[in-house]
A and B are shown apart, each in its own frame.
Chain A
Amino acid sequence: MAPRLNFDELVQDERVHRKIYTEAEVFDAEMEQIFERTWVFVGHESEVAASGDYKTITIGTQPAIMTRDEDGGINVLMNRCMHRGSTICQEQRGNSSYFRCWYHGWTYTNRGELVGLPYAAGYGKSFDRSKFSLVRARVGIYRGLVFASLNPEVQEVAEHLARAKYYIDLFMDLSPEGEIDARCGTHKYGYDGNWKFQMENGVDGYHPNFVHQSFFEIQGKQLGRKVMKLFTEESAYQTKDLGNGHSILDMAPQRKLRRPVNNILRGSTSQASIDSYMESLIRRYGDERTSEILGASNVNLAVFPNLLIIGIQFRNVIPVSVNRSDVYLTPTTLKGVPEEINVARLRAHEAFYGSAGGGAPDDVEMFNRCTAGLRVKGAEWLELSRGMEREHTGEDGSPVAHITDELPQRAFYRQWRNLMCGAAANVTELRPRPAAALD
């Protein structure tokens, strides 16, 4: 048998080995060491708004069901009958208080208790049905975002989110009620490539001018200014390491109060709606906080390991196999704003995102090309050193670098290495780099 790969050597500070994208052994270890040990994003509370609502999800590659029970609680139950292993829920979403396995009729509540056991006499008196509840994942909720964990020892979700919380708050506070809805459906696309390509790309400020040139040219024409300057050396935008593998493209520094609104709405909304929206924000949060919040209206936030918050969407990156990934984009609407504002958000999202959008499919094309290119064996490493020399500590204590720098990817892979090498899932600060080896 070939010797097991040494994950510590495959991921170094300034580069990663191609095998982390191509080897099934790495993928299997990721499912155990990362997706079974830390918090995994599974959805938003509003997707199961009413009692009995459910949607099927995955934790890594494992099927599960997110349910809203009759007491209003959110449960994450593994989609596996405790009898002979069949999945018990076949629909993507729906409403039901019970789930029946149609193989032999075992029936569970939406909290996972086994309540229906056909012809129970056959099991004898000592059979204890309370031992046959569905396997439950831990549930952690932050500002309506639902995370699940298969690790009973995992730290609290708020602690896991570290400095990403500040940006999640901004995203939610774009609503004058501080709440968003995720009930307009989901864009689903996939690609023949490793799940990490999408996580890297979502916070990559170096690629836009090349991958999205065609979109920026059209957008520039509409806005009457050069969009591409924002992703050159002259840009004041930053990358920021938010701890625990999370990071952001921080596009707030240059923002003024008005422009971000126009940016979301792209000229398609009446001034009356914009004014009314702005007034309600200022009434709720005051001028200064409103400015800060509007700066978040164009975020690219990565939450390790599988969540991206980009534009108006939650993006759930779903690993399928070492070279196949699915990506679910769920757009959000804001509570407490004129309907026109939310319609404009949907239209702005569609322009760029989804399988037919003007931007995201071009990213996906690059992931497919990377998969093809990484079959080459003569070159073993992928370079992530951009901006290492100009990385510094920002105002809030976070490591920051230029927008085009590969700081977010380095932050992601430090956390990756920590978990893959067996560190506890509650590691908050990162250990020092090991000496580079393996060529």
Chain B
Amino acid sequence: MSSLSRQQAEEILFEEARILDDRRYDEWFAMLTDDAIYWVPCNGEGLDPNREISLVYDDHARLRDRIDRLGSGVAHAQSPPSKTCRLISNVQIEQTSGDAAGITSAFFLYELRHARQRIFAGRYHHRLRFEDGRWKIASKKAVLINNDEVIDNLTFIV
């Protein structure tokens, strides 16, 4: 195998975006490595999750809990669920070696729930690892531009 190309990176990000917009969370979970981290910082860029509160700082096990809870039928903040549509652009490969790569991208995310539409925007930072013959997501950090402001409900997966 060779290092990750931008086209490959985009294919992975676009596939992930589609899966999340469809709320096929089990399929998304399968895109992750067993030690994956899903991180949505609060109050800024997110420098150190051990010294700052985050909106989300899930390891693999907690992410499983999150997905199970969302699928429980009694997660009221997602009942009815958010409909989302996200656009990903400005994809840049930050670093890539034989079996690891870092990608940054910009996103727009439109969310509709209870007849109200909201717009979120920010940057994704993905770390990918080549495992079992394919690229998997080892970490995903979503830095929302409004993460230091009031956000009423962020219970869908960003």
Contact flag A350-B56 (CB < 8 Å), given A185-B42, A362-B75:
yes
Whether A185 contacts B53 by the Cβ 8 Å rule is yes
**Which one of A40-48, A125-133, A186-194, A248-256 contacts B?**
A186-194
* B39-66 Cβ-contact flags toward A at 8 Å (1 or 0): 0101110000111111111000010011
Q: Please determine whether A186 and B43 come into contact, CB atoms closer than 8 angstroms.
A: yes
A161 to B27, CA, bound (A): 52
* Bound Cα distance from A218 to B79, whole angstroms: 18
A184 touches B77 (CB 8 A): no
Is A25 positioned at the interface, with any CB of B under 8 Å from its CB? no
Q: CA–CA, A217 to B53, complex, Å?
A: 24
Contacts of B150 in A (CB 8 A): 188-190, 326
A332-363: contact bitstring with B at CB < 8 Å (1 yes, 0 no)?
Answer: 00000001000100110111001110100110
B114 touches A92 (CB 8 A): no
Within 8 A of B (CB), among A86-102: 92
For chains A and B in complex, what number of residue pairs have CB atoms within 8 angstroms? 97
Alpha-carbon gap, A364 to B53, bound state (A)? 20
A213 on the B face (CB < 8 A): yes
* CB–CB A356/B62 < 8 A: no
Flag if B65 contacts A356 (CB, 8 Å): no
Could you tell me if A358 and B53 are in contact, using CB atoms closer than 8 angstroms? no
The answer on a CB contact under 8 Å between A189 and B153 is yes
A331 in contact (CB, < 8 A): yes
Asked, given contacts A351-B62, A368-B114, whether A187 binds B42 with beta carbons under 8 Å apart, the answer is: yes
User: In the bound complex, what is the Cα–Cα distance between A90 and B71 (angstroms)?
Assistant: 42
Contacts of A141 on B, CB cut-off 8 Å? none
The chain B residue sitting closest to A217, CB to CB, is B72
B68 → chain A, closest Cβ, in Å? 6
Question: Taking the complex as formed, is B151 at the interface, i.e. its CB lies under 8 A from any CB of chain A?
Answer: yes
Question: How would residues 83 to 109 of chain B score, 1 for a CB under 8 Å from any chain A CB and 0 otherwise?
Answer: 000000000000000000000000000
**When the two chains form their complex, are residues A365 and B76 in contact, meaning their CB atoms are under 8 A apart?**
yes
- A366 near B76: Cβ-Cβ < 8 Å: yes
**What string of 1s and 0s marks CB contacts (under 8 Å) between A202-217 and chain B?**
0000000001011101
CB distance from B69 to the nearest CB of A (A): 5
A243 to B17, CA, bound (A): 52
A residues 210-265 in Cβ contact with B at 8 Å: 211, 213-215, 217-218, 222
- Chain B residues within 8 Å of A331, by CB: 53
Contact assessment for A346 and B152 in the assembled complex, using a CB-CB cutoff below 8 Å = no
Which residue on A lies nearest to B66, using beta carbons?
A358
Q: Are B153 and A361 in touch, CB under 8 angstroms? A: yes
Contact across chains for A355 and B154 when beta carbons are under 8 A apart: yes
- Tell me, yes or no, whether B155 is within 8 Å of chain A by CB: yes
Which residues of the other chain, A, contact B152 by a CB distance below 8 angstroms?
189-192, 355, 364
Cβ of B1 within 8 Å of any chain A Cβ, yes or no, is no
Known: A356-B40, A361-B155, A368-B114. A187 touches B77 (CB 8 A): no
Complex Cα–Cα for A191 and B54 (A): 20
Interface size on A, residues (CB 8 A): 36
- Are A364 and B153 touching (Cβ within 8 A)? yes
B145 to chain A, nearest CB (A): 14
In the complex, the answer to whether B53 meets A92 with C-beta atoms within 8 Å is no
Q: Are B43 and A185 in contact (CB under 8 A)?
A: yes
Give the distance in Å from the alpha carbon of A177 to the alpha carbon of B62 in the complex. Answer: 32
Identify B77's interface contact among A185, A186, A351, A365, CB under 8 A. A365
Give A75 to B93 CA distance when docked, in angstroms.
Answer: 48
Given A185-B42, A214-B72, A365-B76: A355 touches B151 (CB 8 Å cut-off):
yes
| Cross-chain contact B149 with A215 (CB below 8 angstroms) | no
Give B108-157 interface residues, CB cut-off 8 Å to A.
114, 148-155
CB neighbours of B148 from chain A (8 A): 92, 188
**Within 8 Å CB of B30, what residues of A?**
none
- Contact indicator B42/A218 (Cβ below 8 Å): no
* Chain A residue contacts of B114, Cβ below 8 A: 368
Contact partners of B74 in chain A: CB under 8 A = 213-214
In whole Å, how far is A375's beta carbon from the nearest beta carbon of chain B?
14
Contact A187 B76 (CB under 8 A): no
Contacts of A215 in B (CB 8 A): 69
Contact check, B42 vs A346: say whether CB atoms are below 8 A apart.
no
CB pair B153 A346 closer than 8 Å: no
- Additional 19 contacts, C-beta under 8 A, given A339-B50, A365-B76: A184-B53, A185-B44, A186-B42, A187-B53, A187-B55, A188-B150, A189-B150, A189-B153, A190-B150, A192-B152, A214-B74, A350-B53, A354-B42, A354-B55, A355-B153, A356-B56, A356-B154, A358-B69, A361-B153
What 7 A-B pairs come out closest when comparing CB atoms?
Answer: A361-B77, A185-B43, A355-B154, A356-B154, A355-B151, A214-B72, A190-B150
18 A–B contacts from the bound complex (CB under 8 Å): A184-B53, A188-B151, A190-B152, A211-B76, A214-B69, A218-B65, A346-B52, A346-B54, A347-B57, A351-B62, A355-B153, A356-B55, A356-B155, A362-B75, A362-B77, A364-B77, A365-B77, A365-B79
